[in-house]
Amino acid sequence: MTAPTSLYGLLAEFADPEELVEATQQVHQAGYRRIDAFSPMPIEGLAEAMNFRRTKIPLVILIGGIVGGIAGYVLQYWVAVIAYPVNIGGRPLHSWPAFIPVTFEVTILFGAIAGVLGMLALNGLPRPHHPLFGVPAFSHASRDRFFLCIEASDEKFVEQETRELLHRTGAKEVFDVPR
């Protein structure tokens, strides 16, 4: 870790998506892992170039769903058996077949809510500011330019070497991203 503390990372600008994918592959092959790519539209092959790892979202949704299923069933049990034990047409208080649809729906509801909240949490959102916004040219990331950022916290990050690598990959320009 030789990174100077004043730097968040280095941001390279590219003119077209193929260059970005190629540069990402090279940077990944060079051993950098704390990298991120920015583009105004989805690019085929970019996630693979970054060796995008599987997220924890499915697990979060599964846990949300299981919690929802148990909660939905327990709520109905508590209402029908403990809180308001009403005899409806001679059916048992614990009428489990009638509880299944609601249990299923609460499972889906909790799974979906866990998915949305988990996605926000794992992405570190909501987040009002990001160091990348300190680079004025970065606003083009949502219009007509493609960017690749190597964070200073990467183990392989050495400012001069990394800057040279990014130039070699064909970057139009390399910006310092202030912390």
Partner 1 sequence: MIDPNNTFLDTLKKWQRGATAVAVLGAVLCGLAAATSLEQFLRSYLVAFLFWWAVTLGCLGILMLYYLVGGRWGVAIKPLLECGTATVPLLAGLFLPVAFGIQHLYPWAGPSYEDRPSRQVESRSISEETSKVHSTTRSETRHEFRRFATPRVLATFAAPSSDPKSLYLNPAFFYGRALGYFVIWILLALSLRPRKSDVPTDRPRWRRLVSAGGLVALVLTVTFAAIDWAMSLDPQWYSAIYGAVVAIGGVLAALAFVTLSFAALFWRGRAVSTTNLSPALGDLGSLMLAFLMLWAYFAFSQFLIIWSGNLPEENVWYVYRLEGGWQWLGLAIVGLQFFVPFFALLSRELKQNPRTLAAIAALVFVMQYFFFVWTLVPSFHPRQLLIHWADIVVPVTMGGLWARIFIGLLRRNIPQIVAMNQ
Residue 44: which of 67, 17, 78 has the closest Cα?
A: 17
Instruction: Sketch the per residue contact string, 49 through 78, with partner 1: x for CB under 8 A, - otherwise.
Output: ---------x---x----------------
Q: Taking each helix axis from N to C terminus, what angle separates 96-122 and 57-77, rounded to the nearest 10 degrees?
A: 150
Both ends of the chain: CA-CA distance in Å? 16
How far is the C-alpha of 152 from the C-alpha of 178, rounded, in Å?
A: 10
Instruction: Among 57, 74, 83, 100, indicate the residue that binds partner 1 (CB under 8 A).
Output: 100
Which stretch, 13-21, 93-101, 120-128, 138-146, contacts partner 1 (CB under 8 A)? 93-101
Q: Is 83 in the site for partner 1 (CB under 8 A)?
A: no
Helices (DSSP H) in the chain: which residue ranges?
17-29, 46-49, 57-77, 96-122, 159-168
Instruction: Among 5, 6, 87, 160, indicate the residue that binds partner 1 (CB under 8 A).
Output: 87
> Smallest distance, Å, CB 87 to partner 1?
5
Residue 174: which of 129, 138, 130, 133 has the closest Cα?
A: 138
Peptide bond into 4 cis (omega under 30): no
Instruction: Among 92, 116, 117, 178, indicate the residue that binds partner 1 (CB under 8 A).
Output: 92
Instruction: Among 25, 26, 39, 95, indicate the residue that binds partner 1 (CB under 8 A).
Output: 95
What type of residue sits at position 138?
Answer: F
Q: Is 45 in the site for partner 1 (CB under 8 A)?
A: no
Cβ nearer to partner 1, comparing 80 with 132: 80
Residues in contact with partner 1 by CB under 8 A are: 58, 62, 87, 89-93, 95, 97-98, 100-101
